[in-house]
Chains A and B, each alone.
Chain A
Amino acid sequence: MEQGPGTVSGGGFISLSENEQRCYSDLYTLCQADSSGKLAASKVGELFRASQLPADTLHQVTELCGAKRLGYFGTGQFYVALKLLAAAQSGFPVRLESIKSEMPLPRFVGMKNDAEVLRYPNHSQNTESQGLHLGKPSVTIAQPSLDRNALKRTESLGDKQEPWSPLRSPPSSPSSSSNQDKPLSYTYRKQWSSTEQLTASYESKHPSRPLFRQEVSSPSNYGSKSSLTHSSVTQARSVERSAEEGSADYHDDPWRITEEQRDYYTMQFKSLQPDVSSLISGSVAKNFFTKSKLSIPELSHIWELSDVDCDGALTLLEFCAAFHLIVARKNGYSLPEKLPQTLQPGFLQIDAVSPKTKRDGAFLGSYSELVPPSQQQKEPAHSEQWEAINELPRTPEPLIVFKDDSRTAPQETNTVESTYPPLSDISTPKQEPRIDSCMSAFSPKRNPAFKDTSAEHKHLENTSAAKTDPPQELDLQVKSRTRQRSYSSTSIGDAMKKVEEPPTPPPRPQKTHSRASSLDLNTIFQQSSQGYKGGWLPPPALPPRPLAAQIPHFVSSTETTSQQKPVRKLNFADFSKFSEEEENAVKNDAQGQLGKAAGSSEERSSLKKDILPAQPPLKPIRRKYRPESQNLDNQDPTPPLPPPSSFSAPGTKPHPPVQKQSSRQKRAIQTAIRKNKEANAVLARLNSELQQQLKEAHLDRIALETRLDQLRPVSYS
Chain B
Amino acid sequence: NYPLYIRSIPTENELKFHYTVHTSLDVVEEKISAVGKALVDQRELYLGLLYPTEDYKVYGYVTNSKVKFVIVVDSSNTALRDNEIRSMFRKLHNSYTDVMCNPFYNPGDPIQSKAFDNMVSAMMVQVC
Q: Determine if chain A interacts with chain B.
A: yes
By DSSP majority rule, is chain B's interface helix, strand, loop, or mixed?
A: loop
Chain A residues, CB < 8 A from B113: 300-301, 304
By DSSP majority rule, is chain A's interface helix, strand, loop, or mixed?
A: helix
B5 interfacial by beta-carbon distance below 8 Å: no
Determine whether the beta carbon of A301 is less than 8 Å from that of B114. Answer: yes
Interface residues in A683-717 (C-beta closer than 8 Å to B): 714-715, 717
B52 interfacial by beta-carbon distance below 8 Å: no
B103 interfacial by beta-carbon distance below 8 Å: yes
Give the size range of B's interface with the partner.
10 to 19
Chain A residues, CB < 8 A from B107: 715
Chain A residues, CB < 8 A from B105: 300
Bound complex: CA of A311 vs CA of B103, how far in Å? Answer: 10
Determine whether the beta carbon of B114 is less than 8 Å from that of A282. Answer: no
B101 interfacial by beta-carbon distance below 8 Å: yes
Determine whether the beta carbon of B103 is less than 8 Å from that of A296. Answer: no
Bound complex: CA of A289 vs CA of B103, how far in Å? Answer: 10
A348 interfacial by beta-carbon distance below 8 Å: no
B51 interfacial by beta-carbon distance below 8 Å: no
The residue that A310 contacts in the complex, of B2, B101, B104, B108, with Cβ under 8 A, is B101
Bound complex: CA of A353 vs CA of B102, how far in Å? Answer: 28
Determine whether the beta carbon of B108 is less than 8 Å from that of A303. Answer: no
Scan B95-126; emit 1 where CB is below 8 A from any A CB, else 0: 00111111111011000111100000000000
Most chain A C-beta atoms within 10 Å of own C-beta, residue among B2, B100, B101, B108: B101
Bound complex: CA of A289 vs CA of B115, how far in Å? Answer: 20
Interface residues in A262-321 (C-beta closer than 8 Å to B): 282-283, 285-286, 289-290, 296-297, 299-301, 303-304, 307, 310-312
Determine whether the beta carbon of A312 is less than 8 Å from that of B108. Answer: no
A391 interfacial by beta-carbon distance below 8 Å: no
The residue that B98 contacts in the complex, of A285, A290, A297, A310, with Cβ under 8 A, is A310
Determine whether the beta carbon of B104 is less than 8 Å from that of A312. Answer: no
Determine whether the beta carbon of B115 is less than 8 Å from that of A304. Answer: yes
Determine whether the beta carbon of B102 is less than 8 Å from that of A304. Answer: yes
Determine whether the beta carbon of B103 is less than 8 Å from that of A312. Answer: yes
Q: A300-B112, A300-B113 are in contact. Are A311 and B104 (CB under 8 A)?
A: no
Determine whether the beta carbon of B114 is less than 8 Å from that of A286. Answer: no
Bound complex: CA of A299 vs CA of B102, how far in Å? Answer: 9
* Closest B residue to A314 using CB positions: B103
Determine whether the beta carbon of B101 is less than 8 Å from that of A312. Answer: yes
Minimum C-beta distance from A695 to chain B (A): 36
A633 interfacial by beta-carbon distance below 8 Å: no
Minimum C-beta distance from B18 to chain A (A): 18
Chain A residues, CB < 8 A from B102: 282, 300, 303-304, 307, 312
Determine whether the beta carbon of B104 is less than 8 Å from that of A303. Answer: yes
Chain A residues, CB < 8 A from B2: 717
* Closest B residue to A337 using CB positions: B114
Interface residues in A623-666 (C-beta closer than 8 Å to B): none
Determine whether the beta carbon of B114 is less than 8 Å from that of A717. Answer: no
Bound complex: CA of A310 vs CA of B93, how far in Å? Answer: 13
Chain A residues, CB < 8 A from B99: 304
Q: A310-B98, A714-B108 are in contact. Are A303 and B114 (CB under 8 A)?
A: no
Determine whether the beta carbon of B108 is less than 8 Å from that of A282. Answer: no
* Closest B residue to A715 using CB positions: B107
Chain B residues, CB < 8 A from A307: 101-102
Determine whether the beta carbon of A285 is less than 8 Å from that of B108. Answer: no
Determine whether the beta carbon of A304 is less than 8 Å from that of B108. Answer: no
Bound complex: CA of A286 vs CA of B102, how far in Å? Answer: 9
Bound complex: CA of A283 vs CA of B115, how far in Å? Answer: 21
Determine whether the beta carbon of B103 is less than 8 Å from that of A303. Answer: yes
Bound complex: CA of A289 vs CA of B105, how far in Å? Answer: 13
Determine whether the beta carbon of B101 is less than 8 Å from that of A282. Answer: yes
Determine whether the beta carbon of B98 is less than 8 Å from that of A300. Answer: no
Bound complex: CA of A307 vs CA of B103, how far in Å? Answer: 11
Minimum C-beta distance from A49 to chain B (A): 31
Chain A residues, CB < 8 A from B98: 304, 310
Determine whether the beta carbon of B101 is less than 8 Å from that of A285. Answer: no
* Closest B residue to A302 using CB positions: B104
Chain A residues, CB < 8 A from B100: 312
Bound complex: CA of A286 vs CA of B105, how far in Å? Answer: 10
Minimum C-beta distance from A287 to chain B (A): 9
* Closest A residue to B116 using CB positions: A304
Minimum C-beta distance from B46 to chain A (A): 23
What are 12 A-to-B residue pairs whose CB atoms are below 8 Å?
A285-B103, A286-B103, A289-B104, A290-B104, A296-B104, A300-B102, A300-B104, A303-B104, A304-B113, A307-B101, A307-B102, A715-B107
Q: Enumerate chain B interface residues (CB-CB to A < 8 A).
A: 2, 97-105, 107-108, 112-115
Closest 10 pairs (CB-CB, A-B):
A282-B103, A286-B103, A312-B101, A300-B104, A303-B102, A310-B98, A299-B104, A310-B101, A717-B108, A304-B115
New A-B pairs, 19, CB < 8 Å, besides A304-B98, A717-B108:
A282-B101, A286-B103, A289-B104, A290-B104, A297-B112, A300-B102, A300-B105, A300-B112, A300-B113, A301-B114, A303-B104, A307-B102, A310-B98, A311-B101, A312-B102, A337-B114, A714-B108, A715-B107, A717-B2
